[in-house]
Amino acid sequence: MATTAPSVHLHLGHEQRESGSGGSHAHLHPVSQAVQADIPLAGAKEVEEAVARAEAVREAWRCTRPEQRRDILNRLADLLEEHKAELAQMAALDGGTTLMVGERGVETAVGWTRYYAGWCDKLTGDLLSTFDSRGEFSYSVPEPIGIVGIIITWNGPLISLAMKVCAALAAGNCVICKPAEITPFAPELFAQLCKQAGVPDGVLSIFPGTAEAGEAIVRHKKVRKISFTGGPITARKILEACAQEIKPSVMELGGKSASLVFPDCDIQAAAERAVFWTVGCLSGQGCALPTRQLVHADIYDDFVARLQAIIGQFKVGDPMDPTVMVGPVINRAAADRITGMFDRAKADGAAKFLLGGSRAGGALAEGNFIEPTLIVDADPDHEISQVEIFGPAVVVMKFHDEDEAVAIANNSEYGLAAYIQSNDLQRVHRLSERLHAGGVYVNGGFQINPHTPFGGVGISGFGKEGGKAGIDEFLHYKTVTIGVGAPIFPK
């Protein structure tokens, strides 16, 4: 990887700081594992300062003309587009995202930014009653919440920033955002581009920070709502703090999504999608990926053979190499956790491993590389089928009819996404109703289009990102009612 790591700052409004009260984090090169940067960390002190800055400009930003907010976000989208190659390189430096996936991530972020730019001047309330109809005049008014706290995890930080920050700004809120310290480079450039786009000083603060900083954001009384992307363990801690403050939140918490593959689908296309979304996309480190492939018995052997052939074509290596399809996982702890899951499944006889199942060898042996892994005949109740692997692996199970497929798919505490591969329209509609998921995606339908609400049920969380529902998460609707001045006690 030829690109050097950029300097990372704490962005408190427009002020850039090279150090923080939380100390620093040694960021490791995703391939060599050598220290490539010391990342400054915010603590509670910087959170307090950022909130004070946001509070000072909150009313002015609320009263900013919607067209001005729209133009700022459209300029931001332009800047993201202009820096596409650089942002893709930052994603590779952050955590080993391949250049192809990184560039697609930038395109997705641009789309989300433009989408919410478009909402700025289209937010309206409703006329609820008139003097003639109900004897009083009532209407609703959408208003920003105020200051919102946004905490995002390490996989795909740029997309998370576009999904959350842009919607919050479009609604007229100020934002305090804490990205993960282990993927700081893309958020650093995003913060710089927000300033260039014209986001006013104090409206947006972005800084990596300690757990103490995260807790300070969640518990601060002037931070009126929390939007979090991460795992259920951290989410429960945040929810406990929110409960004490009676503070609303949005939780996007991952999944163990099933894809139901029927004989009437385009089998080759379904197999190619399965491999890309579970092995190639972020090396399997994605929340809504179809990591459980449930395949009808009539095509099971054929489908598995196709998966095996396609996976064998996916090159593993340096994410800066444009021919590489699978980069490293995020760190050594993740690699150990993944191989531990593989080892337990093998020891328990819970599945067969047709490909992979261990760390990559040869020149990649010292890095955090996992062999692309194909797991078949998996026990639906075993850990390997129930817990997120979050690595380049696909788990395949057999079913014989729709009822069995739905039972296996819904046998999960998660409920973020479900997938159907079928050209039978009636079947698609039948199953879409029965699958326990926040979204159902058919024959290659994309999970995170900006115009469609995205979010889960169960331990996958609650709340929505995308569509009007996504901006409504950052608004409250005030009711105004005007009476005719009639006396309480008529004469």
Write out pLDDT tens, residues 314-369: 999 999 999 999 999 999 999 999 999 999 999 999 999 999 999 999 999 999 99
In the annotation, is 287 catalytic?
Answer: yes
Catalytic residue among 287, 371, 465, 473: 287
CA angle at 393 for the pair 285 and 325, rounded to the nearest 5°: 70
* Residue 164 token pair: 């959350």
User: Which of the 8 DSSP states describes residue 465?
Assistant: B
pLDDT of residue 2: 44
- Residue 1 pLDDT > 80, yes or no? no
Q: Which fold has domain 258-442?
A: Aldehyde Dehydrogenase; Chain A, domain 2 (3.40.309)
Closest listed residue to residue 406, CA positions, set 253, 258, 247, 217: 258
pLDDT digits over 190-208, tens only?
Answer: 999 999 999 999 999 999 9
- Strand 417-421 and strand 10-12: the pairing is unpaired
pTM equals: 0.96
Q: Which residue type does 314 have?
A: F
Q: Is residue 146 scored above 50 in pLDDT?
A: yes
* Residue 45 pLDDT class (50, 70, 90 cuts): very high
Is residue 479 over pLDDT 80?
yes
Res. 491: pLDDT tops 90:
no
- Using one digit for the tens of pLDDT, what is the confidence trace for 226-246? 999 999 999 999 999 999 999
Q: Residue 399 corresponds to which amino acid? A: F
**What pLDDT digit, counting tens, does each position of 304-326 carry?**
999 999 999 999 999 999 999 99
Higher-confidence residue of 1 and 126: namely: 126
Q: Nearest-CA neighbor of 310 among 270, 345, 342, 350?
A: 270
Helices and strands: H and E segment counts in the chain? 16, 20
> Minimal CA–CA distance to 273: which of 49, 475, 64, 446?
446
- For 188, 312, 388, the CA distances from 307, given in Å and listed in that order, are 38, 8, 20
85/105 Cα distance (integer angstroms):
11
49, 252, 388, 465: the active-site residue: 252
Confidence class for position 490, pLDDT limits 50, 70, 90: confident
Cβ proximity of 454 and 466 under 8 Å? yes
Q: pLDDT class for 3, splitting at 50, 70, 90?
A: low
How far apart CA 97 and CA 325 sit, in angstroms, is: 9
**CA–centroid distance for 248 within its chain:** 19
Sorted by sequence, the CB contacts under 8 Å of residue 343 that are 6+ apart come out as none
Token pair 């105020």 in the structure block, residue: 146
252 in active site: yes
Q: Where are the domains of the chain?
A: 10-253+456-478, 258-442
Q: What is the mean pLDDT of the chain?
A: 97
pLDDT tens per residue across span 262-302: 999 999 999 999 999 999 999 999 999 999 999 999 999 99
Domain 10-253+456-478 architecture: 3-Layer(aba) Sandwich (3.40)
